[in-house]
Amino acid sequence: MAGNRGGWGQFLVRAALQRAGLPPDAVEHVFLGPAEAALAFRSGSVDAWAIWEPYVSIEVAQFGARVLEDGTGLTPTVSFLAAHRNALRDRRDALADLMRRQRRGWDWAAAHLPDYAAYNAKLTRLPEKPVQLAFEKQRTRAVPLDGALLAELQQAADRAVEYGVLKQRIDVTAAIDRGFPLDTAG
């Protein structure tokens, strides 16, 4: 089983094994980055690969891979805009403007998915069809940092400690600035 150390790949494997009632040593985890893991997977050196989009769609569309577990219900699949505390203190207006622009960009991309996929495929030199499939699955959008999401994130962080992905417990709420309401971001 190939996947990255200390991130989504390692977490997904442990969570999927736990959900299936299997011990952590039920698979041999080989820690590889995406480029190395792709080669190992395609050559048959590893039997499975814990990966994210657009790599999932590339492997399925171009190499006949099958998805065994998609992580639904195992962990929140959210991304964050991270800012240094000095920027939060000194550049809040600029950060709010960035968030507004980012949200407008997501809205445009959702309304123009083929164009967005074509542009990204050219930019990243990845095949266009799997990139479009990945974007169709992801449907990136802004969501509120509400209590339910924060609780889900805390559960995932606690499980990451249990799985050895994180070395010590973190307080998710202390790491998130909720001072940028969703309506400000859009």
| pLDDT value at 19 more than 70 | yes
**For position 182, what pLDDT does the model report?**
66
| pLDDT value at 96 more than 70 | yes
Could you report the per-residue pLDDT of 126-154, keeping only the tens digit for each? 999 999 998 998 888 888 888 888 998 89
The residues pairing with 31 across neighbouring beta strands, listed in sequence order, are 3
Query: Can you tell me whether residue 31 is helix, strand or coil?
Result: strand
Spell 1-35 as b/e; 16+ CB within 10 A means b. Answer: bbbbeeebbbbbbbbbbeeeeeeeeebebeebeee
Confidence of residue 185 (pLDDT cuts 50, 70, 90): very low
Could you report the per-residue pLDDT of 119-129, keeping only the tens digit for each? 999 999 999 99
Return d(Cα 7, Cα 37) in angstroms, integer.
14
Could you report the per-residue pLDDT of 51-91, keeping only the tens digit for each? 988 999 999 999 999 999 888 888 777 888 889 999 999 99
The domain segmentation of the chain, as residue ranges, is 2-63, 82-142
**For position 184, what pLDDT does the model report?**
47
Return d(Cα 171, Cα 111) in angstroms, integer.
37
Question: Taking the chain, what is the end-to-end CA distance rounded to the nearest angstrom?
Answer: 40
Identify whether the C-beta of residue 96 lies closer than 8 Å to the C-beta of residue 86. Answer: no
For residue 3, the surrounding DSSP H or E stretch is strand 2-3
**For position 186, what pLDDT does the model report?**
46
Return d(Cα 120, Cα 117) in angstroms, integer.
5
Rounded to two decimals, the pTM is 0.74
Of the candidates 57, 55, 29, the residue with the CA atom closest to the CA atom of residue 136: 57
| pLDDT value at 179 more than 80 | yes
| pLDDT value at 176 more than 80 | yes
